[in-house]
Amino acid sequence: MEQHILIEDVSPSIDCGRYPVKRVAGESCVVRATIFRDGHDIIRASVKWRRESARRFADAPMSPINPGLDLWQGEFPLEEVARYVFTVEAWTDRYASWLADLKKRVDAGYEDVRSEVAEGLALIAEAEDLAQGEDRKALEAARRALQAAVANPRQAHAAASSPGLLERMGRLQPRLDAVSHPSKFEVHALPQRARFGAWYELFVRSQGTEPGKSGTFLDAERRLRDIRDMGFDVVYLAPIHPVGTTKRKGRNNTLQAAPDDPGSPWAIGSERGGHTAIEPAIGTIKDFDRFVDAAKGLGMEVALDFAIQASPDHPWVKDHPEWFYRRPDGTIKYAENPPKKYEDIYPVIFDTSDREGLWEELLRTVLFWIGHGVRIFRVDNPHTKPLPFWEWFISKVHEERPDVVFLSEAFTRPPMMKALAKLGFVQSYTYFTWRNTKQELADYLTELTQSEMREFFMPNFFTNTPDILTEYLQKGGRPAFKVRLVLAATLSPSYGIYSGFELLENVPVRPGSEEYLNSEKYEIRVRDWDRPGNIKEFVARVNRIRQENPALHHLTNLKFFPTDNEQILLYGKVMPDCSNVILVAVNLDPLNPHHCTATVPPEEIGVPPGGGYEVCDLLTGARYTWSRDNYVRLVPEVEPAHILRVERRF
């Protein structure tokens, strides 16, 4: 049989189905495709879908949403955290095509349609032979009713058009010329935390109260309630493994360490163990398990740092020397990013003769921590490792635990960042940290939300990290911290801060550097977490606003609105039914007041053209009456932003 039907432009898909798209479990996956055939026969289509582990496909109907362009749409449920496979199938609905032809003849006044009715009777009989039970009985009765009406064209058409008959014929008639798209497309249904969450990064050893003495998991556990009260969902720990002593770095990254300097946690491994061991100064695996349980008891999850590197003292160096690069003089090459040198760290080489052993050891490492309750991993510098490794590694982990979230810490070229997201990294660090102007933010967020990236790139906006103290935070004072917090927390469903942000820590090691002075990467810090001037209450308020407003739980519902001042950014997030509408206005200049006219087309937020609405500033409680054009003035030292919720329309 010749193929008459074409199926094109199936979405969602990434690189023609090469990689899975990302969605969240509990929602539906909406599928679209261009479907057409030659001639005038009527076609039907469906989404064929199944869990990746299942054998049989289920069937979800598709309907035309733009007949003029032959665009069809259907959807299927993502009931649990898992990987799903789908494709699109289309076929000729011979009964509907016959019925449409019969109607034309009846409407044209034909007095004899017995020959045409005979064709319809044959189609019903064909479906009747395949049916069972009540369906078979109903089809038999419908066939007899049509036969009885054969002499009267209009009665015959009415009998052939009965709703019950149409439903059964659509479901039961054979799909003789069914065509499936040649590709199978994948969807990774992820846990809610993959899309929405507030991260708090800390060093366990800096959670104590005694200067010069390492904090422990018990000290960190005592801080959990304070972190929870600020509204954070994820507690991300810098490496917790034994720290090497060879070539240990001193304070502020000096080459010579004092006897009491703890070294960098990223110099992983000592005689006490490697990536599956814990630094003795901060506790034991039993203490870690207790910490994880305590976090879960407060509604938080623990994220671990996964850095594929070793100190010179790591057991891997002795047991697997082939995993490291040796210079001609026999010494092992340490990590470098000129002019920076990391003599305390050996990078692992993936072009090793023991490729299988290395890959399996790294998989074993992550599975070990999964066994101790960890479901989130922040991966250090994944762009310096081979892409085939990550695709294999993440897929192997997801075979056992599809709910595990991997965050890619790859501040590198856009194609590499995108490739890592496509092949399996659930979340990604972004360039948000360095996007400060109105145009920069609008352009970058438009790319994230409106391009193909929306299908696979789930951003996590960090305001700062142990390596990144931006010039904006160094020079902008208290308002700058509030501005960056509001932007991160409301532009992206997932965002994070590195501890000390709430205390407004902003002193660089030297002018022009993004490194912190007295960085806790190289020393134990003791802080007064309630010291005067902190913005903990502001952080808690913003996180509470996020929790209470579902529009902020999504990324692709972002809309930018015009203002006549380049220092004021205005944007909104709107639920599809407009049940929750959030408008955010931010003064991007932390040093000076600014005002503007902010234009919000009412129809964009569910307000009739020409209508007005009342908004409540969720940061201050103030209420305003808004319409299309609105006056906004923001004084940084008072409050540099509005987070407005539409409360009432009129």
Give catalytic residues, as residue numbers: 380, 409
Beta pairing, strands 185-190 & 21-24: parallel
In terms of phi and psi (left: phi > 0; alpha: psi -120 to 50; beta: otherwise), the region of 150 is alpha
> In one letter, which amino acid is 204?
V
Q: Closest by alpha carbon to 626, among 636, 617, 637?
A: 617
Q: CA angle, corner 307, sides to 303 and 308, nearest 5?
A: 140
Tokens standing for 562? 């015009």
Q: Specify whether the CB–CB gap between 436 and 480 falls below 8 A.
A: no
- Sheet containing strand 641-649, edge to edge, reads 558-561, 568-574, 581-587, 641-649, 613-617, 623-626
DSSP string across 75-124: EEE--SSEEEEEEEEEEE-HHHHHHHHHHHHHHTT-S--HHHHHHHHHHH
Q: Specify whether the CB–CB gap between 13 and 185 falls below 8 A.
A: yes
Tokens standing for 318? 């002795």
Question: 603-606 contacts: CB < 8 A, separation 24 or more?
Answer: 604/559, 604/561, 604/572, 604/574, 605/572, 605/574, 605/578, 605/581, 605/646, 606/574, 606/577, 606/578, 606/581, 606/646, 606/649
CB-facing half-sphere around the CA of 235: CA atoms within 13 A: 30
Q: Specify whether the CB–CB gap between 323 and 283 falls below 8 A.
A: no
> In one letter, which amino acid is 361?
E
Q: Closest by alpha carbon to 571, among 560, 580, 557?
A: 560
Q: Closest by alpha carbon to 557, among 592, 530, 517, 584?
A: 584
By the 10 Å C-beta count (0-12 exposed, 13-18 middle, 19+ buried), 529 is classed as middle
Tokens standing for 419? 């490739």
Q: What are phi and psi of 544, to 5 degrees?
A: -65, -40
Distances (CA, A) of 119 to 116, 126, 146, 156: 5, 11, 11, 12
